[in-house]
Amino acid sequence: MGRNAKRCEKQEILEKKKCKLCIHKGNLEGARIHAESAIQQRNQSLNFMAVSARLDAVTNKIQYAITMKRVTNSMIGVSRAMDGALRTMDLEKITQLMDQFERQFEEMDVRTGVVDSTLAQTTTTIVPQNQVESLMVQIAEEAGMEINLEMPSIATTSAEPSAEASITSELSKRLKLLRNNKE
């Protein structure tokens, strides 16, 4: 999928060059066709990248399931061994099995943490807003255009305090009710 996305990106660049050449020659209809093709290639590239990310997420989930199955089977074996040791009441064997159980449990925690962090990295594609805005400004400057990004930032920041204020108000009301019930 990644290769297909890169192929589409290269094709998009070629279509943009063809569009520029047609504009230079005065062939506006040809320029329009190449511009449409460039947009289609870009959209197809984005679709390939999205599918690739989803496949990565599914792969990681499958790997997680396999790991959990192995750990479960291992824990079943330790549990059976502990049951046998408890029947014989061999304290040394019980201690060894408990140590083995704890090691396997710690290993499971490590594996789970690694898989969870990998899943989080694969499925979340949150990019900091300031990076997005600076890239947009850079592209606009390279093209000799101006871009105004202030309005969306203001809208998002003004919504947050009102939500926070309502939560604070709700918590204050609950605290007041609890204090009244104590008395």
| Tens digit of each residue's pLDDT (9 = 90 or more) over 11-55 | 988 988 888 888 878 788 888 888 888 888 888 998 888 888 888
* pLDDT at residue 156 is higher than 70: no
Three-state DSSP class for residue 70: helix
pLDDT > 70: percent of the chain? 69
pLDDT for 124? 47
pLDDT for 10? 93
**Mean residue pLDDT across the chain:** 74
With residue 30 as reference, give the H or E element that holds it. Answer: helix 28-88
Cβ atoms of 42 and 7 closer than 8 Å = no
pLDDT for 136? 58
pLDDT for 7? 93
pLDDT, greater one: 177 or 49: 49
- Residue whose C-alpha is closest to residue 131's, from 123, 142, 139: 139
Average pLDDT rounded to a whole number, residues 130-136: 59
* pLDDT at residue 160 is higher than 90: no
pLDDT, greater one: 142 or 54: 54
* pLDDT at residue 162 is higher than 50: yes
pLDDT for 18? 85
pLDDT for 81? 77
* Cα dihedral across residues 153, 156, 158, 161: positive or negative: negative
* pLDDT at residue 147 is higher than 60: no
* pLDDT at residue 126 is higher than 50: no
